[in-house]
Amino acid sequence: MPDLDMFFRPKSIAVIGASNKELTIPYRIIANLQAYGFKGRIHPVHPKETAVRDLPVCRSVLDVPGDVDLAHVIIRRDLVPNAIRECARKGVKGVVVNTSGFSETGEEGKRLEDEVRDLGRSLGVRVFGPNCQGMMNTDPEVSLYSNFTFARIRPGHVSILAQGGGVAEVLNSYLSESGIGIRMYASNGNACDVSIPEILAYWDADPGTRVIVLHMESFADPKEFLETVSRIRKPVLGMKSGTSPEGARAAASHTGRLMAEDTLTDVLFDACGVLRFRTAQELCEAAVAFAAQPLPKGRRLGVVTNAGSPAILATDEAIGRGLVQPDPTEATQQALREKLFATSSVHNPVDMMATATPENWGTAVEALFTDGSYDLVMASFITPIFVDCEGVARELVRVHRAHPETPFLVCLMTNPLWENTRRILEEGGLPTYYFPESAARAAAALADMAALKGRPAGTLPDLAVDRAKAADILAAAGEGVLPGAEAAELLRCYGIPVARETWCAKAEEVPAAARAIGYPVVLKAHAAGVTHKTEAGAVAVNLADEASLREAMGTMAARAPKGADVAWQLQEHVSGGVEVAMGTAAAGSLGSTVMFGLGGVFVEVLRDVRFGLAPLTDAAADRLIDGLRFGRLLSAFRGRPAVDRDRLRDVLLRVGRLAADHPAILEMDLNPVMAHADGDRTRVVDVRIRVGGR
């Protein structure tokens, strides 16, 4: 566990650049620390002031009496390095550089930021920021509000880490104002030294943090993220903005480094078990559930309601998010029929009608908890004027307490006149949602996280490969795109099946070559100046015999540019099966990513592709294949047999291993790969491999 106590549990804080002007960052930090009742000492530092908010001012951090754990630095950017030096001399453990004007502004700022980081590292001072908000900790032993923001925080169990200060406040204010509260908060801006993964790991060990909400704009160090975050046990709810090109450009212009590829986010979040959200609101609403509820064992949701129409909204959303809503068992239905009003529906949702009493509610919800058919339960509760709603709330809390192992969410549709009802629920550990769809989405997020946490890591299978021969091929190759024959040979070293092919420089060699490959064949004529072979009529597929072959050659020769040398490529004709695509791409410190998806024209139009990290475990390969939206094309379908999935996975594993073993492979593009029902006929039909020096 990284020790970041100096930032989150300091006993004394110096504010370097303290000011008596109310509308300044340093004044506000001191005011916030005081107002929130910081348990330690606060020392304003300024060369001329004598007192700030009744606190004596020191001329320099070196003049502060006693130890200083943490220093905020809010001074001109070019003075920051010297402040770091003074802090080091004083023995300050951590410095928060709130000052902006660093890497977010360009090259000069970047150089200054690097200087600050290197200085901190050489002098043993951790640096938080620059260009950042700060941190908060609602632990009553600390009561730290070391931030210049406006939010009214309250204690809770959600810790928030957001790179950008604006989003940090949006998340923080939502959770604090809605009564959920926060545990700790960090917004570390350019993050030149103390990193996001470090803070996450620190919070993983914090007993008061139940769930972590993470908003990122860039991955400073993907490898550190992967290695650190994949070891975190607490649920991390993640969001990465800049997913649109326009958003990414804005992100690049306003904060530090950019590695905006949405793909990288998917790969890293998935590999680390971070559940990804697409909007700040869904992220916050999920956090509400994670703060109070356990993870479910499955995806079966039972809904109880006193109004049909909102429960239908919840049901539509839940089903759309992959939850299932089985009916209660016959026995439970019978019991409910006996105990509820005759007009009630005892399916799922159980609809008791608006007149349902507290007793009805208790009966129905308890029945779902004990039925055995449900992994999650939701109460969809609209407050009628003719019902004891506070009594209903008490019943819901009672049943919830009796079944703490099953997540229970409440959609409370009401207004502030029923504030007591809401309070009873919230004090009973049942925070509420207003819109039925919000509750359903949060339920789905709980189930998604349970699946993410519960999935097998899998194993790296033992594949028979000729690694040495592959290395020889790569060593002999220059930089750039490998010639087709060498690319095919490289794949064969790793047991990846490639369509048989031969190249003939002379027309008279072609018929014999075709016999060697075996009919039917594909013929391609390569001539200088012809790039789009299909359009130029220089490709003929499914040639069944020598007569067809000769005819095709005649036609192509006639079409070739006059006087051009024609080279003939003959390939085994692969038919049947489904076109898929596989690929790899070098990803810096992460090694390589592996891509799998539907191939041929599908790749570009459907963009139904999934990514993982090389080498793939068997389980990871399964997830890539199972994760396709239109994966049904791989199954038995319309009288067509399913593709041989084991062979498909085997090929995918070999592709991943090849990329992992040979970092010189910068890019592999295998498209199409014909995935066949008969695994022995699965073939890579086209391959392009780009290599580069290391």
Q: What is the CA radius of gyration of the chain?
A: 32
Residue from 107, 141, 246, 462 touching a second copy (CB under 8 A): that is 246
Q: Which is nearer to a second copy, 204 or 351 (CB)?
A: 351
> Which residues from 534-593 bind a second copy, rule CB under 8 A?
534-535, 542, 544, 548
Q: Which is nearer to a second copy, 119 or 168 (CB)?
A: 168
Residue 187 phi, psi (nearest 5): -135, 105
CB 45 within 8 A of CB 29: no
CB 16 within 8 A of CB 47: no
Residue from 263, 357, 414, 555 touching a second copy (CB under 8 A): that is 414
Residue from 47, 66, 207, 416 touching a second copy (CB under 8 A): that is 416
Residue from 94, 197, 256, 436 touching a second copy (CB under 8 A): that is 436
Residue from 50, 82, 122, 253 touching a second copy (CB under 8 A): that is 253
CB 6 within 8 A of CB 69: yes
How far apart CA 432 and CA 438 sit, in angstroms, is 10
Closest distance between a second copy and the C-beta of residue 184, in Å?
19
Residue from 50, 82, 309, 329 touching a second copy (CB under 8 A): that is 309
312 near a second copy (CB under 8 A): yes
> Which residues from 340-399 bind a second copy, rule CB under 8 A?
343, 345, 347-349, 351, 354, 382-387
426 near a second copy (CB under 8 A): no
The pairing of strands 41-45 and 609-613 is unpaired
Q: Which is nearer to a second copy, 351 or 375 (CB)?
A: 351
CB 588 within 8 A of CB 222: yes
Closest distance between a second copy and the C-beta of residue 534, in Å?
5
137 near a second copy (CB under 8 A): no
Residue 230 CB neighbour total at 10 angstroms: 14
Residue from 207, 529, 563, 639 touching a second copy (CB under 8 A): that is 639
317 near a second copy (CB under 8 A): yes
258 near a second copy (CB under 8 A): no
- Looking at residue 212, the DSSP 8-state letter turns out to be E
320 near a second copy (CB under 8 A): yes
Tokens of residue 179, six digits: 């009564």
Q: Which stretch binds a second copy (CB under 8 A): 161-169, 449-457, 552-560, 643-651?
A: 161-169
Residue from 48, 233, 562, 638 touching a second copy (CB under 8 A): that is 638
**Nearby residues of 242 by Cβ (< 8 Å), 6 or more positions away:** 217, 218, 248, 250, 251, 252, 258, 260
How far apart CA 597 and CA 574 sit, in angstroms, is 19
Closest distance between a second copy and the C-beta of residue 37, in Å?
18
> Which residues from 437-476 bind a second copy, rule CB under 8 A?
437-438
Q: Which stretch binds a second copy (CB under 8 A): 56-64, 73-81, 276-284, 443-451?
A: 276-284
Residue from 96, 311, 585, 586 touching a second copy (CB under 8 A): that is 311
8 near a second copy (CB under 8 A): no
* Start-end of H helices in 233-374: 245-254, 262-272, 280-292, 308-320, 330-339, 358-371
315 near a second copy (CB under 8 A): yes
The pairing of strands 211-216 and 236-240 is parallel
CB 344 within 8 A of CB 365: no
Report the DSSP beta bridge partners of residue 275. Answer: 237
Residue from 103, 137, 293, 325 touching a second copy (CB under 8 A): that is 325
Q: Which is nearer to a second copy, 134 or 612 (CB)?
A: 134
Residue from 20, 34, 60, 100 touching a second copy (CB under 8 A): that is 100
Q: Which is nearer to a second copy, 230 or 243 (CB)?
A: 243
Q: Which is nearer to a second copy, 100 or 373 (CB)?
A: 100
316 near a second copy (CB under 8 A): yes
CB 42 within 8 A of CB 169: no
CB 183 within 8 A of CB 157: yes
The pairing of strands 480-481 and 687-691 is antiparallel
Q: Which is nearer to a second copy, 214 or 586 (CB)?
A: 214
Q: Which is nearer to a second copy, 94 or 134 (CB)?
A: 134
Closest distance between a second copy and the C-beta of residue 73, in Å?
18
Q: Which is nearer to a second copy, 379 or 590 (CB)?
A: 379
Q: Which stretch binds a second copy (CB under 8 A): 82-90, 317-325, 363-371, 458-466?
A: 317-325
**Nearby residues of 586 by Cβ (< 8 Å), 6 or more positions away:** 592, 663, 665, 666, 667, 692
CB 474 within 8 A of CB 494: no
Residue from 72, 215, 394, 654 touching a second copy (CB under 8 A): that is 215
**Nearby residues of 632 by Cβ (< 8 Å), 6 or more positions away:** none
Q: Which is nearer to a second copy, 317 or 371 (CB)?
A: 317
User: CA dihedral defined by 530, 532, 538, 541, rounded to 10 degrees?
Assistant: 160
* Start-end of H helices in 321-411: 330-339, 358-371, 389-402
Q: Which is nearer to a second copy, 120 or 130 (CB)?
A: 130
CA angle 364, 368, 371 (to 5 degrees): 125
The pairing of strands 578-586 and 592-598 is antiparallel
How far apart CA 98 and CA 95 sit, in angstroms, is 9
How far apart CA 467 and CA 464 sit, in angstroms, is 9
254 near a second copy (CB under 8 A): yes
Mask for 13-32, x = binds a second copy (CB under 8 A): ---------xxxx--x----
661 near a second copy (CB under 8 A): no
> Which residues from 34-93 bind a second copy, rule CB under 8 A?
none
> Which residues from 505-534 bind a second copy, rule CB under 8 A?
532, 534
Q: Which stretch binds a second copy (CB under 8 A): 43-51, 75-83, 316-324, 654-662?
A: 316-324
310 near a second copy (CB under 8 A): yes
Residues in the chain: 694
Closest distance between a second copy and the C-beta of residue 576, in Å?
11
How far apart CA 487 and CA 481 sit, in angstroms, is 9
> Which residues from 166-185 bind a second copy, rule CB under 8 A?
166-170, 173-174, 176-177
Q: Which is nearer to a second copy, 162 or 570 (CB)?
A: 162
Tell me whether residue 575 is exposed, middle or buried, using C-beta atoms within 10 angstroms of its C-beta: 0 to 12, 13 to 18, 19 or more.
exposed
State the number of binding residues for a second copy (CB under 8 A): 100
